[in-house]
Amino acid sequence: GLVTWDIEGVANLRIVAKHNTDGSGVIAPEASYTIADGLKIALKTFVFYGGVDTTYGPWKDNTLGELSLSYSF
């Protein structure tokens, strides 16, 4: 599933979730902010869940984070 929320064209909140039939899945929330025209910063994390013998379960103790700065012209 996907949920997005745009805040006056300057900030954006987004949540992507994937749930498998084996009871495992991943949730990936992301927040981004436009600093200036063409300059954006974003923070994203991936949270895994599930049992040991499932697709995403083995990674449930390994939450991943990502920070990015992008410039476009």
50 — alpha (psi -120 to 50), left (phi > 0) or beta? Answer: left
How high is the pLDDT of residue 47?
Answer: 95
Q: Is there a contact between 51 and 59 (Cβ–Cβ < 8 Å)?
A: no
CA atoms within 13 A on the CB side of 53: 0
CA dist 32 and 72 (Å) reads 15
pTM here? 0.79
Residue 3 has pLDDT above 90, yes or no: no
Per-residue pLDDT of 40-58, as tens digits, reads 999 999 999 999 999 999 9
Q: Is there a contact between 40 and 21 (Cβ–Cβ < 8 Å)?
A: no
CA dist 71 and 39 (Å) reads 5
